[in-house]
Amino acid sequence: MSAYRFIDALRGTARRIPAKIETTGREVLRRVSEAHGVPIDAIIGTRRFPYLVSARQDAVDRLTELGWSQHKIGKLLNRDHTSILNLQRRGKKHDA
């Protein structure tokens, strides 16, 4: 943590992710969960069954449409940004 961030944290002016963004991400996961019939914990989990990968890919596509960065999507899904990049590329390949 840099000295400036530390001072901002002490003052209470530190930058935080707005609640609206977190709610939007959770809302997208809830909708994908309902659409695919898969629990949210399974979408975020580590298993790689095809139906889970499909649900994850759907979530990534929806979040990308909302303008989320790969890093933010990765944080939400407990994945590295390169995993998100791979899901985005795979989605484009299947659409073509």
Count helices and strands (H / E) in the chain: 6, 0
Tokens 């991400």 correspond to what residue?
A: 25
User: Is 86 part of a structural domain of the chain?
Assistant: yes
Q: Is the pTM of this model over 0.85?
A: no
Residue 5 included in any domain: no
Residue 4 lies in a domain: no
Q: Is residue 91 part of a domain?
A: yes
Into how many domains does the chain fold? Answer: 1
**Is residue 7 domain-resident?**
no
Q: Please name the residue ranges forming H helices in the chain.
A: 3-11, 19-36, 40-44, 50-65, 70-77, 81-95
CATH number of the CATH domain containing 44: 1.10.1750.10
6 domain residue, yes or no = no
Residue 66 lies in a domain: yes
87 falls within a domain: yes
Q: How far apart are CA 54 and CA 63, in angstroms?
A: 14
**Nearest by Cα to 60 from 41, 81, 42:** 81
Residue bearing tokens 């989320």: 68
pLDDT at position 86 over 60: yes
- 50 phi and psi angles, rounded to 5 deg: -55, -40
With H, G, I as helix, E, B as strand and everything else as coil, classify residue 40: helix
- State pLDDT tens for residues 1-47: 566 666 666 666 555 555 555 568 999 999 999 999 999 999 999 99
Output the CA torsion sign for 28, 30, 34, 36: positive
The residue segments making up the domain with residue 72 are 18-95
